[in-house]
Structure 1
Amino acid sequence: MNFFEYQDKARRNSGVLIALFCAAVIGLVAITTVFVAFLASYSDLRDPAVDTSLIGIISHLGWETVAGIAITITAIIGLASLFRLRQLAGGGRAVAESLGGRKINTSPEGLAEQRALNVVEEMALASGTPVPDVYILEDSAINAFAAGYSANDAVIGLTRGCIEQLDRDELQGVVAHEFSHIFNGDMRLNIRIVGLLHGILIIGLVGSWLLRGSYWGGRSSRGRMPVFAAGMGLVAIGYTGTFFGNLIKSAVSRQREYLADASAVQFTRNKQGIAGALKKIARHTSGSNLQATNASEFSHMYFASGLRASFGGLFATHPPLDARITRLDPQWQVAASAAGSATPAVSDAAPANISSMHSQHRNSGTDTAQTVTNSPSNPYQATLAEIVEVVDNNIANPSYQQCARGKVLLAEIPSALKAAAHDPFAARALIYGLLIGNEEASEHRATQLDLLAKVAHPAVLREFEKLSEELTRIGTHLRLPLLDLCIPALKSLAPQQFQIFKRNVIKLLRADGKIEIWEWALYRVLMHGLEQDPDRHRKLGARKTSTKVLADAHQFLLATMAHADSSDYLTAKRAFEAGLDLMGMGAVALPARGDMTLQRLDKAVAIARDTPALQKPALLKALAITMSHDGIVGGREVELLRAIADCLDCPMPPLTLSDGRQVPNPAAAMEETA
């Protein structure tokens, strides 16, 4: 199962879970309504003439009154869920801060935090995702989590125990495990579960308030007893609902942990890393149990169980440690008793080869003979089969070689630029520099520099002047990785600062009266990382996308790719037709190069986002075929493909280099960089 199949399955699972929770809410509302109806008619039930059956109680109160009670209770649950989801609207950042986390992207303290940041950045660069915010929880337990609604607002949380007790291999395994949750669409569902459970819990909270009111209320025991009884009943009903809600949450979470473990092994090619982390948790004094007051609310998001087992593991959100370790290391033994005797671990699931948990999806029918060569000043070289492999199998699923290359890319970026990417002022200067380019790449550099001197903050301008020479020397293949590194620092800008920065970027792009494709690509990748939905203003009032409109958008994207790095119409036409053929579309005239306006490209991308998950691979492969049809892959085409993939929420790993450099061997790939 690949990324697109996981996305499709995640949507279906989300619908099933919402249905299950709705069923729990309906049952809870029904029980609560009957209880409230019973209390409301309690004084009349002592009359022998009154029917005390359920139908009799409802008839005595009146169906309109009972319906009003049910609607009121439903509204209370719904509003409580919406209120909690509103509190978590900030995505992963809201979760991390509620747990007491501290963001370290812009100011890591000490070697342990710097090493953790390096590991996260390497994985992000290898997978083509924006670098997530990294939070440290000052807790001695060994644990971690990924939270957010999408890869754009995702955060990685790591405890102090995690970054200090684990070696680099083990930390890399934990981080890869959390990235798997980001890729597989688990995070959005996890936050929805938090909101729904809070709605169910509100019934019990109301009961608790009533109990406190009955204690501190008037002196008359006669007046306190009805309030006390109401409180006790609502507490029992509320926590009964929470009981079943937690059962659903736990059952879903357990199975996803096995998949994330398998993905971590695939990414790192080192099952001993994640297995070692789990073993250290088993031996650690604090284990993985978090001390935060609201740790239980987010229990299903953690790398390992954040709470002590209760009810014999009935509510466990994670499989037993020994079961997870046994799947990774069948020879693992755990202590059988406090006396220290050891016996082989017994798992409720038969040990399985880890590769069977996450089998590779293979290409078929690919022309492996066609070779794509590098154009002048272009750092990319790969066979067509390799390009299609990246699109087909490595979207949000980086191979071991690509993960190791993330380390190479991070090391390749000059230290001055790397440090600048972690500072909000200097990060803005870097983005301006990437858009202005060097003297050979931009005929209008002087115009852009004059404009920058007028619109940029003086401190940002000073940073730009310091970094300008270094920026002109970096290869084009480092532009997107460097941009990705800037995302966390730019997210820390105040809203007003961000709006000014965005306006300045647009002014720089338009300085020469036109916007090049590569400039559009950088801008789209940047905004996709910084804004939740850059195309929302194009969707307002839009109806559901029809098949014809979607096909037209796909054709326009193929046409744009065909024209991106080819000035010859016939060459572009043949590339366009190859892309259409792969998608099974009929012959369509290639629009002229002059028709490829960026406004139309923005609209086509916004429409293409509605492409069903299982149809996105065909579109991306068609774009790759179009891009490489002439045997030459230009840097602009690669950046355009990455930008379109980003807009479709399909993180695309980088392609290979053409200068003879090889991905480092496993030993070198694991060297410490902190």
Structure 2
Amino acid sequence: MNFFEYQDRARRNSTLLIALFFAAVVGLVAITTLFVAMLTGYSDLRNPATDTSLMSMLGNLGWDTIAGIAITITAIIGLASLFRLRQLSAGGQAIAESLGGRKINISPQNPAEQRALNVVEEMALASGTPVPDVYILEDDAINAFAAGYAQGDAVVGLTRGCIEQLSRDELQGVVAHEFSHIFNGDMRMNLRIVGLLHGILIIGLLGSWLLRGSYWSSGRDNRGRAALFGIGAGLVVIGYTGTFFGNLIKSAVSRQREYLADASAVQFTRNSRGIAGALKKIGQHSGGSRLQAANASEFSHMYFASGLKSSLLGLFATHPPLDARISRLDPQWSGSGDGSPTPTPAAATLRGDAAAQVSQMHGGTGSGSGESYQARLEKVLEVVDNNIAQPTHQQHVLGQAILADIPAPLKAAAHDPFSARALVYGLLMDHASNSGSSEEQCAHREAQRTLLTQIAHPAVLREFHKLAPVLASTSQHYRLPLIDLCIPALKSLAPQQFQIFKRNVIKLLRADGKVEIWEWALYRVLMHGLETNPDQHRKLGNRKGSSQAIADAQQFLLATMAHADCDNYLHAKRAFEAGCSALKLSPAPLPARADISLQRLDKAVAIARDTSPLHKPGLLKALATTLAHDGVIGGNEVELLRALADCLDCPMPPIPECFTSARPQAGGVPTTETASAS
């Protein structure tokens, strides 16, 4: 099962979860109705003529009373669920902070935290995603979690025991496991489960309050106290009955997903002993994986290993038994040993592999340099089919190589909010200088520098001047990785600071009166990582999921790709037709370059994101076919494709074989005098 199938399954699971929730609500309404009928019948027991049969008591209630009960229970559950989901609207950050987590992306405090941050950043760069926020929980247990609604607001939480007790290979296995949850749509489902179960639990909490009220209430009316106690006890039973079945559903779903995440982690790291060793250490650690946070039970289904004591013979266990997980990863395991994994050949040769990848990135002779165009296209299509959000070990090695080879000043700047802004400004300016004639480059660069002195914060401007010489000598292949590294630091900006930063970026892009598609791609990747849903307003007036609107948006993206690096209309037309044919779209006239405004491109991306998961591979392969129609697939082309894939919520890992054929960018890319870029 690949990423797109996982996403499609996640959609179906969301529908199933809502159906099960409504079924639970109906069940609770029925139980509450029976409870009220029994209370009513109990109050009439003194009348000998009263029929005490259940059907008679239900009949005495009347439909108005039953409807009132249904509306009341549904309203209580619905409002409580919405309230909890609203509390969790910040995504993973809300959960990490509620568990006492501390963010370390900007300032890791010791080598263990720095190593953990490096591992997470390597995984992100290898998979083509923004670096998530990393939180440390001051807990000696060995555990971890991933939380958030989408990749843009995802966080990875690691306990103190996890980063200090595990080796680097074991930590990589744990982090790769959590990245699998990020990619496969598990996080959104987990958050919805938290919100919906809270709504069901609130009935039990109301009953507990009533019980306490009956205990502390004063007065001579013992009958009133007894009634209050009875109502409270009944609500407790009703509430926890719903929670019982809700936890059963949560546990069953979570157990199966843990096996899938373990398998994905092994595919990513090519080291089953790493994650198996982490599980073994959990079993031997005095604290195990049990978290001490007061509300740890609410998020029990999100953890790497069970964060609670097992109960009811494992009926509510949110994770498979450790022995079962270890046996799948290490069939030779006998249930004994120190839990330390034996170094694998992949781990032992990692440094040499990374060096070879770095050599390729700088244009050295590698396996990809002598390949034909068709072979390169097949590799790109293979990545779309099998590696979107499922990077291979080779891409994992490349991620490590990229992080290791980024100049230290740029890496340090990416982790500081002031310097990260300066770094983004420099990346956009450096990128813009690669197109057009030498005179145009100089004029554009000078116009941007002059503008930057007028709009940037003085401290940011000083950082920019420090970074400019390093950026000038840094390969353009690091543009997207550096932007991904900057995301956590830029997320820490205050809302007003962020809005100023965003306006400054747009002004820099418009400094020469036009915004080229290569600049637009970098901007879109940046905003996609920083804003939860930057495109919602662009879809106004378009019926969500409209097949015709989606098809038109897809054709517009293909037209943009056809014009991206081609000055000749006939050549662009052939590329466009090749893309439409690959996507099985009806032939359509190719829009002129002048019609490819970035406002329309932004809107096309927003609408194309509604393409069903199972149809997104076809769109990405059609874009690749269009872009490669001129017979060249170099680093620039692949980076543009990766940027568009990111905007479509399809994280595309870097392709090592395509780094060696980068060529200088040609002029003649789509521009607009009034591009919104917002």
TM-score under structure 2 normalisation? Answer: 0.89
Q: Hey, what does 1:456 align to over in structure 2?
A: 456
Q: Distance in 2 between matches of 1:528 and 1:174?
A: 26
Whether contact under 8 Å (2:634, 2:658) holds in the other structure is no
Query: Does 1:551 pair with 2:551?
Result: yes
Matched, 1:519 2:527: no
Contact 1:375 1:633 in 2 (8 A): no
In structure 2, the partner of 1:540 is 540
Q: 1:629 corresponds to which residue?
A: 629
Paired with 1:78 and 1:580, the residues of 2 have a C-alpha distance of 46
Give the distance between the partners of 1:535 and 1:506, measured in 2 at CA: 16
Which residue does the alignment assign to 2:185?
Answer: 185
CA contact 2:361–2:660 (8 Å) conserved in 1? no
CA RMSD of aligned residues (A): 2.2
CA contact (8 A) 2:361 2:477 kept: no
| 1:69-80 pair list within 5 angstroms | 69-80=69-80
Amino acid at match of 1:315: F
Task: Give yes or no for contact 1:517–1:636 (8 Å, CA) kept in 2.
Answer: no
Q: Partner of 1:633: helix, strand, or coil?
A: coil
Q: 1:654 to 1:376 in 2, by over 3 A?
A: closer
Q: Distance in 2 between matches of 1:113 and 1:409?
A: 20
The range that moved more, 381-390 or 86-95, is 381-390
Q: Does 1:419 align with 2:412?
A: yes
Q: In structure 1, what residue type is equivalent to 2:421?
A: R
- The corresponding residue for 1:135 is 135
Alpha-carbon distance in 2 for matches of 1:138, 1:534: 34
Report the more deviating stretch, 534-543 or 473-482: 534-543
Report SS of the residue matched to 1:134.
strand
Aligned pairs for 1:357-436 (under 5 A) are 383-436=376-429
* Counterpart-to-counterpart distance in 2, 1:295 and 1:326: 27
Question: Residue 603 of structure 1 aligns to which amino acid in structure 2?
Answer: K
Equivalent AA in structure 1 for residue 379 of structure 2: E
Is the contact made by 1:561 and 1:637 (CA closer than 8 Å) also made in structure 2?
Answer: no
Alignment correspondent of 1:591: 591
Residue 245 (1) aligns with residue 246 (2): yes
**1:116-515 alignment runs, 5 A limit:** 116-220=116-220, 221-334=222-335, 383-437=376-430, 441=435, 442=441, 443-515=443-515
**In 2, Cα distance between the equivalents of 1:52 and 1:508?**
80
Out of 70-79 and 213-222, give the one that drifted further: 213-222
2:100 matched residue in structure 1: 100
| SS at 1:334 equivalent | coil
2:24 paired residue number? 24
C-alpha change, 1:374 and 1:288, in structure 2 (3 Å) is closer
Given that 1:426 and 1:464 are in contact with CA atoms closer than 8 Å, whether structure 2 keeps it comes out as yes
Partner of 2:639: 639
Structure 2 match to 1:610: 610
Q: Distance in 2 between matches of 1:559 and 1:20?
A: 44
Q: Any idea what SS the aligned residue of 1:152 has?
A: helix
Aligned partner letter, 2:128: G
| 1:555-590, Cα deviation, whole Å (9 max, x unpaired) | 111111111111122222222122111112233222
* 1:156 partner SS: strand
Within 2, Cα distance between the matches of 1:119 and 1:568? 45
2:39 aligned partner: 39
> 1:16-47, CA deviations, whole angstroms, 9 ceiling, x for partnerless residues?
12212221221012111321343356423432
Q: Which residue of 1 aligns with 2:8?
A: 8
Gap runs ≥5 in structure 1: 343-372, 662-674
Query: Which range moved further: 38-47 or 229-238?
Result: 38-47
- Secondary structure of 2:291's aligned partner: coil
**Deviates most, 527-536 or 58-67:** 58-67
Partner Cα separation in structure 2 for residue 164 and residue 581 of structure 1: 54
Which residue type is aligned with residue 298 of structure 2?
E
The TM-score with structure 1 as length reference comes to: 0.90
Q: Secondary structure of 2:151's partner? A: coil
Instruction: Check whether the contact 2:99–2:296 (CA below 8 A) recurs between aligned residues.
Output: yes
Alpha-carbon deviation of 1:432? 0.8
Amino acid at match of 2:385: D
Distance change (3 Å), C-alpha of 1:644 and 1:658: closer
Moved more, 136-145 or 439-448: 439-448
What secondary structure, in the 3-state scheme, does the structure 2 residue paired with 1:318 have? coil
**C-alpha distance in 2, partners of 1:308/1:507?**
55
Whether the 8 Å CA contact 1:28–1:241 is kept in 2: the answer is: yes
CA displacement at 1:66 relative to structure 2: 2.3
SS at match of 2:650: coil
Per-residue CA deviation, residues 205-235 of structure 1 (Å, 9 max, x unaligned), is 0110011101111143333111111111111
Map of 1:360 onto structure 2: none
Cα shift readout 1:142-198 (whole Å, capped 9, x = no counterpart): 000000011111000000000000000000000000000111110000000001111
The C-alpha deviation readout for 1:451-507, integer Å capped at 9, x for no partner, is: 111111111111111111111111111000000000001111111111111111111
Is the 2:10–2:185 Cα contact (8 Å) retained in structure 1?
yes
Amino acid at match of 1:426: S
Shift of residue 636, structure 1, vs aligned partner: 4.2
Moved more, 540-549 or 62-71: 540-549
Q: Which residue of 2 aligns with 1:88?
A: 88
Give the partner amino acid of 2:326.
I
CA contact (8 A) 1:374 1:634 kept: no
How far residue 541 of structure 1 moved from its aligned partner, in angstroms, is 4.6
Tell me which moved more, 493-502 or 547-556: 547-556
Tell me, in whole angstroms, the C-alpha distance in 2 between the residues paired with 1:562 and 1:626: 6
> 1:374, 1:632 within 8 Å by CA — same for their partners in 2?
no
2:112 and 2:362 map into 1 onto residues whose CA distance is 42
Residue aligning to 1:576: 576
Q: In structure 2, do the counterparts of structure 1 residues 560 and 636 end up closer, same or farther at CA, with 3 Å as the change threshold?
A: farther
Q: Distance in 2 between matches of 1:217 and 1:270?
A: 62
Residues 564 and 637 of structure 1 are in contact (CA less than 8 Å); yes or no, is this contact kept in structure 2?
A: no
- Residues of 2 paired with 1:8 and 1:427: CA distance? 36
Partners in 1 of 2:334 and 2:528 — Cα distance? 46
- Amino acid in structure 1 at the alignment position of 2:52: T
Cα distance in structure 2, aligned partners of 1:376 and 1:197: 54
Which has the higher mean CA deviation after the structures are superposed, 458-467 or 476-485? 458-467
Unaligned runs of 5+ in 2: 339-359, 436-440, 662-678
The structure-2 alpha-carbon separation of the partners of 1:205 and 1:198, relative to structure 1 and needing over 3 Å to count, comes to: same
Give 1:598 shift.
0.9
Hey, what's the Cα distance between the residues in 2 that align with 1:658 and 1:96? 38
**Alpha-carbon distance change, 584 to 207 in structure 1, aligned in 2, over 3 angstroms:** same
Deviation at residue 638 of structure 1 after TM alignment? 2.7
Q: Report the count of equivalent residues.
A: 626
In structure 1, what is the equivalent of residue 665 of structure 2? none
Q: Distance in 2 between matches of 1:66 and 1:85?
A: 28
Q: Distance in 1 between matches of 2:449 and 2:185?
A: 42
Deviations 1:48-86 (A, max 9, x none): 333333343343333212211221111001111111111
Q: Which amino acid aligns with 1:142?
A: I
Residue aligned with 2:335, SS = strand
